[in-house]
Amino acid sequence: MSELTTTMRAISQDVLGGPEVLKEVELPVPTPGPNEVLVRVHAAGLNPTDWKHRALKLLLGEPPYVLGWDVSGVVEAVGVGVTLFKPGDEVFGMLPFPYGAGSHAEYVTAPARALVRKPSSIDHVAAGALPLVGLTAWQALVDTADIQAGQRVLVHAAAGGVGHVAVQIAKARGAYVIGTASAAKHDYLRDLGADEVIDYHTTDVAETVRDVDVVLDALGGETRLRSLRTLRPGGLLVSILPHGAEGLSEEADRLGVRVELLLVEADHAGMTAIADLVESGRLRPTVAGTFPLAEAATAHALGETGRTTGKLVLVVR
Domain boundaries, the chain: 7-130+285-315, 133-261
Residues 6+ apart with CB under 8 A from 199: 180, 181, 182, 183, 186
Classify residue 135 by burial, with Cβ atoms within 10 Å: 0-12, 13-18, 19+. buried
What is the per-residue pLDDT for 190?
98
What is the per-residue pLDDT for 1?
43
Domain 7-130+285-315 fold: Quinone Oxidoreductase; Chain A, domain 1 (3.90.180)
pLDDT in tens, 184-210: 999 999 999 999 999 999 999 999 999
Task: For residues 41 and 76, give the distance between their C-alpha atoms in angstroms, rounded to a whole number.
Answer: 10
Domain 133-261: CATH superfamily, name plus number = NAD(P)-binding Rossmann-like Domain (3.40.50.720)
What is the per-residue pLDDT for 2?
47
What is the per-residue pLDDT for 244?
87
Low-confidence ranges of the chain (pLDDT < 70): 1-4
What is the per-residue pLDDT for 311?
97
* C-beta of residue 137 within 8 angstroms of C-beta of residue 160: no
Neighbours of 64 (CB within 10 A): 11
